[in-house]
Amino acid sequence: MKVPGLKLICLAFLFIHTRILVCYGAPDDAVDDYTDETPAKPPPPEMDNCNGVFLSYAFTSRTKALPLLKNVSAQPWTFNAMATVVNSGTEEVKGWKMYIGFQHKEILVSATNAVLVDGDGDFPAAVGNGTTLAGYPKADLKTSIDTAGDFNQIAVQVELKGSMFGLGEKATPMPKTISLRNDGWRCPTPTKYKTYMHACCKRDPKFKVNSNKKSKFAARQSGDLTFTYDVVKSYEGSYEAQVTMDNSSPIGRLDRWNLTWEWMRGEFIYSMKGAYTPRFDTSDCVYGLAGRYLTGFDFSNVMNCEKKPTITDLPLTKANDTQIGKIPYCCKNASLLPPQMDPSRARAIFQLRVYKLPPDTPPTILYPPQRWNITGVINARYHCGPPIRVDPSEFPNPKGFDAKVYAIASWQVVCNMTRAEKRKTRCCVSFSAYYSDGAIPCSTCACGCDNIDTDKCNPDKPAMHLPPDALLLPSENRTAKTKAFAKLKKKGIPRKLPCPDNCGVSINWHINTDHKAGWSARMTLFNWQEAPFVDWFVAVEMKKAYPDYDNVFSFNGTKKLKGIKNTIFFQSLKDLNYLVEMKNGSKPSDPKVPGKQQSVISFTKKKTPNIKIRKGDGFPSKVYFNGEECALPRSFPSSGHRSPLSIASFILISITTTFLLITNRFI
């Protein structure tokens, strides 16, 4: 009996199991370009009809791992697989990225010829929701035309090893899908067999390809945050590089930023200007490969030898230090603002001297660090792609000549803002309204409950409505008011109350007025932390009310945000840029008082005459504080009797805020 596709599968596996030898020297990602003379193996037959990028995934083996369990869903397995990327078209693929849609709680332990793009890029990595691999050290795939059919230069194989869970003895654990994640490429649903799948990805005809045909490297991309890694001087065994960080997002921001990357070939940081590593540690050099190869080298002056160093900005006081400062755009206390707030503070630059190890000591062999990641306090979170080789950056001539100086080699890293996972944000929003005497507080554990004793509170119970004046109190001082309000409203009081929101910053959005010609809201910021926020901002998405935004009275406000729809940007007035920290009450027995700022925001109804304020149209659909997306309540205030308590509490907020606005300039 003839089985359809059997010959195809067998031929594919023959190719998959045949190892493609990749040259050990400098790959396309390095400055030196040379190829191996190893004879190439024939391509798989499915590629014959693919004029684009051919992808395949082959599951090769699976073994039951310890511990051996009767529960099938908990039984771990080790697995091996092979992913293949082949450029079978007429256009060179710069910085290839392949997505594999894992779906069986996989934990990836290793991947040859590639690095992980998702998360922090470290192995082992949980990839059960899918992951993206990027080429390393061979990031670019040339064409068969330009290489005379050299398969080693147009293809790459990635051996995958890992663990998985929840499968029976006879199940075949294949991914959901595979695709190419490079911009401008479209991939069809892959053709699937029992242990093998493949797809032919082709150029999207609607995508605008860079018209610069003279360029040898990939076009520079745009993103919320971009890094440029420029090698400006290269020596035998070391080089000097400059790192430029640019914030392009109108709602992106970083405070007290920490940048990490990973050295893949034993490099280490000898010195830096414009930034530093909080950990000065040479032990990894002395006891590692550097100590073995660099005999007689004085490591006492080395800044950092960690494989994954942490880098941060210098304080403002070091800006004019001739030894470690004096770098343009450096030394801002690790703060990076949106460009519309201050263009000069939307960029950061630092320089470093890097030492290399054999066989990478020639000046022409250069590799950028991989797995870039940047974090901060309450601000945007970013997911960064791999370094992509781009045309060398140009700089003004330092001697004042009318000429340009070019970097020896340049790479770009593009990072984009990501939404925080549920209960992992760091700010939250509460809702209240003039027509309701109860406030809807921030959701239970909106910012997580990792440091809360959940034996004393319920992390899964919905937050209980509060009297508005309770929003002025720290969560631990709200219990009495919460119970009294529930009793007044004849609501049940659970034996174990819901846990608090646990957020460092909360924002109250209060519907203040509503009439025929327009309406108004009052936004109040609360800082529950022991450190102030300088140059803070809030971005509010209003899907229905945005066209009729009119004015804000105690903040600066604008609707002119490039690339951001239906969003109003608020920031402090000049000299009132501090959202002060939480302070003690006037008496030791008094609850702590949060830092507060507040303003009324007015809207007309000229363009939205049918807006329904009481049904939620007057409340924001998204709120960002310093770039961090805040958690929103799950419901809106309901219409009801307006009590004097509601009015009095917000008068108190206004009085307190006005006082703080006046005194902020003296803090």
Are 258 and 423 in contact by the 8 Å Cβ rule? The answer is no
Mean pLDDT to the nearest integer, 249-257: 94
202-251: pLDDT as tens digits: 999 888 765 555 678 888 999 999 999 999 999 999 999 999 999 999 99
Q: Is 239 exposed, middle or buried (0-12, 13-18, 19+ CB in 10 A)?
A: buried
Degrees (nearest 5) of the Cα angle 374, 380, 385?
Answer: 45
Report the DSSP pairing between strands 155-165 and 76-87: antiparallel
Can you give the C-alpha Rg of the chain in angstroms?
29
pLDDT given at position 31? 54
Tally of CA atoms within 13 A in the half-sphere of 5 that contains its CB: 9
**Whether residue 405 is found in the same domain as residue 447:** no
422-433: pLDDT as tens digits: 788 999 999 999
554-610: pLDDT as tens digits: 999 999 898 899 999 999 998 889 999 999 988 888 999 999 999 999 999 999 999
pLDDT band at 651 (very low <50, low <70, confident <90, very high): very low
**Whether residue 123 is found in the same domain as residue 244:** no
pLDDT given at position 609? 95
**Whether residue 399 is found in the same domain as residue 279:** yes
Query: Element (H or E) spanning 657, and its range?
Result: helix 644-663
Which residue did the predictor score with more confidence, 291 or 71?
291
- The answer to the question of residue 36 being in a domain is no
Domain residues for 492? 427-630
Output the six-digit token pair for 362.
């020639």
Tally of CA atoms within 13 A in the half-sphere of 543 that contains its CB: 7
Mean pLDDT to the nearest integer, 445-470: 92
Coil, strand or helix at 428:
strand
**Whether residue 248 is found in the same domain as residue 169:** no
Tally of CA atoms within 13 A in the half-sphere of 118 that contains its CB: 17
**Contact residues for 245 (Cβ-Cβ < 8 A; gap 6+):** 225, 226, 227, 259, 336, 347, 348, 349
pLDDT given at position 294? 94
Mean pLDDT of the chain: 87
Give exposure, 100-131, as e/b (b: 16+ Cβ within 10 Å): bbbbbbbbbeebebbbbbbeebeeebebbebb
> What's the DSSP call for residue 149?
T
pLDDT given at position 1? 40
Number of residues that this document lists for the chain:
667
Whole-number Cα distances in Å, 26 to 90, 94, 149: 24, 16, 20
- The answer to the question of residue 448 being in a domain is yes
121-147: pLDDT as tens digits: 788 999 999 999 999 999 999 999 999
Count of CB atoms situated within 10 Å of the CB of 134: 22
- Residue 652 pLDDT more than 90? no
- Which residues, in sequence order, are bridge partners of residue 77? 64, 164
**Whether residue 452 is found in the same domain as residue 386:** no
**Whether residue 358 is found in the same domain as residue 440:** no
Single residue among 418, 443, 465 that ends a domain in this structure:
418
pLDDT band at 301 (very low <50, low <70, confident <90, very high): very high
**Whether residue 542 is found in the same domain as residue 503:** yes
pLDDT band at 368 (very low <50, low <70, confident <90, very high): very high
Which residue did the predictor score with more confidence, 153 or 574?
153
- Of the candidates 243, 205, 201, the one whose C-alpha atom is nearest the C-alpha of residue 225 is 243
**Contact residues for 155 (Cβ-Cβ < 8 A; gap 6+):** 20, 43, 84, 85, 86, 87, 141
485-510: pLDDT as tens digits: 999 989 999 999 999 999 999 999 99
Strand runs labelled E in 53-144: 53-64, 76-87, 97-100, 107-111, 114-116, 125-126, 131-135
> What's the DSSP call for residue 439?
B
Q: With 0.75 as the threshold, say if the pTM is over it.
A: yes
Mean pLDDT to the nearest integer, 455-481: 93
- The answer to the question of residue 181 being in a domain is yes
- The answer to the question of residue 658 being in a domain is no
- CATH number, domain of 539, equals 2.60.40.290
Mean pLDDT to the nearest integer, 111-117: 93
pLDDT given at position 658? 42
Domain tally for the chain?
A: 3
- The answer to the question of residue 653 being in a domain is no
- Residue 274 pLDDT more than 80? yes
- Residue 299 pLDDT more than 60? yes
**Whether residue 178 is found in the same domain as residue 135:** yes
- The answer to the question of residue 339 being in a domain is yes
- Which residues, in sequence order, are bridge partners of residue 72? none
State what percent of residues in the chain have pLDDT above 90: 73
**Whether residue 461 is found in the same domain as residue 598:** yes
353-367: pLDDT as tens digits: 999 999 999 999 999
pLDDT band at 36 (very low <50, low <70, confident <90, very high): very low
Mean pLDDT to the nearest integer, 258-271: 96
Q: What is the largest CA-CA distance in the chain?
A: 90
pLDDT given at position 216? 80
pLDDT given at position 662? 38
Are 242 and 322 in contact by the 8 Å Cβ rule? The answer is no
Mean pLDDT to the nearest integer, 623-646: 80
**Whether residue 250 is found in the same domain as residue 144:** no
- The answer to the question of residue 35 being in a domain is no
Report the DSSP pairing between strands 537-541 and 622-625: antiparallel
**Whether residue 480 is found in the same domain as residue 414:** no
pLDDT band at 26 (very low <50, low <70, confident <90, very high): very low
- The answer to the question of residue 8 being in a domain is no
**Whether residue 409 is found in the same domain as residue 450:** no
